[in-house]
Amino acid sequence: MVCAVLLSIGSTAQAASQTWVSGNVGDWGSTANWSGAQVPAGTDTATINNGTASITTNQGCGITLLGNGLATDVATLNIGSNLNLYKSGSSELFCVLKGTTGASATVNQSAGTVRVGAVGTANGGTFETRLVTGSTVTTGTATYNLSGSAILDTDVLSKGNKVDTGATFNATGGTLVLRSMIYKFGLNSEGYGFNQGTCKLEIGAIDTVAAITVGNSSNLMDYTVGTGGTLDFDIASATSFDKITQYGSVANTLGATLQIDLLGGYTPLPGSFFDVWAFSATGKSGSGTFATLPANWTATWIDTNADSITDTLRLTYIPEPATIALLGLGLLAMRRNKK
């Protein structure tokens, strides 16, 4: 019986809920700023309803902003160091911002890494800037500002509800690491759209090959890379490379910088091509050149199904003659060594 009681106490402590003292402005790591005089950690859930918290040292926990539904609440979280955001359950969405009528929630991340999901594993959560509680649409504002050297790493980037107009993701710098999907994100005339802004998009975990989708079958979403933005594609072999599948009508890469990372020492053969971005259906259109290309590469939106619409972004490796000559000498040397 004693053991059972102790285990019960232990499990309760592991899943505690810590609430920011209303109206306080200060350091996340100060116990004086938490109602239970304890800084959230591990599987805890931290709730900031009103006030401003600033993270300056590594932290790990789940977070909800605006959890009590008061219209007078203004919650701000400033992130300048690493923060790990955990899902509280395998079937639950992780909501960073939960809007409520009249209230305002803002996260400013200018440095550090925010990882949504369990650290050190492939398991992650859905990152949401959302203004929905249940099925009720509210009129508050929820904003995430990514800038500087910050990294936001999440499986899914979601608005939470397709019709929300007050939930905003501003990317004026930093790196957005997407391991799975963007969906339900913005309002764009009849459909929905996502503007990457001037941040860097890393497809999948850094230095790994992955595939992401933009939108889904019930959420057709257009995609624009802002002037100054960067698209980063990893290529590990002729058949293993980052890919984007888009459920939408339009993609535009005009003004972006293209970055290509070759993994594991892989060097493509001259003329090798990689179709890295395609649409889920015919009749869709991708366009736009890149402001900056890596050496020895071309990037072109092409028509792959003869319907006169450019539907696939193809990267082609065309090394300079001098590079080809060096490659030839290397192959010759390898043959001689084999003999």
Instruction: Give the C-alpha separation, 217 to 300, whole Å.
Output: 26
* 301 has pLDDT over 80: yes
Q: Pick the residue with more confidence: 4 or 271? A: 271
Helices (H), the chain: 2-14, 321-338
Contacts of 176 (CB under 8 A, 6+ apart): 146, 152, 157, 196, 199, 200, 201, 202
* 158 has pLDDT over 80: no
Q: What percent of the chain has pLDDT over 70?
A: 74
pLDDT (mean) for 330-338? 55
H/E stretch holding 152 reads strand 151-158
pLDDT (mean) for 76-95? 67
Instruction: Give the C-alpha separation, 308 to 314, whole Å.
Output: 16
Q: Sorting pLDDT into bands at 50, 70 and 90, what band is 86? A: low
Q: Where are the domains of the chain?
A: 16-338
- Phi, psi angle pair for 178, to nearest 5°: -115, 120
* Contact assessment for residue 240 and residue 210, using Cβ atoms and an 8 Å cutoff: no
Query: What is the DSSP-derived secondary structure letter of residue 171?
Result: E
Q: What percent of the chain has pLDDT over 90?
A: 42
Each residue of 230-272: pLDDT tens digit?
999 999 999 999 999 999 889 999 889 999 999 999 999 999 9
pTM above 0.85, yes or no: no
Instruction: Give the C-alpha separation, 302 to 251, whole Å.
Output: 13
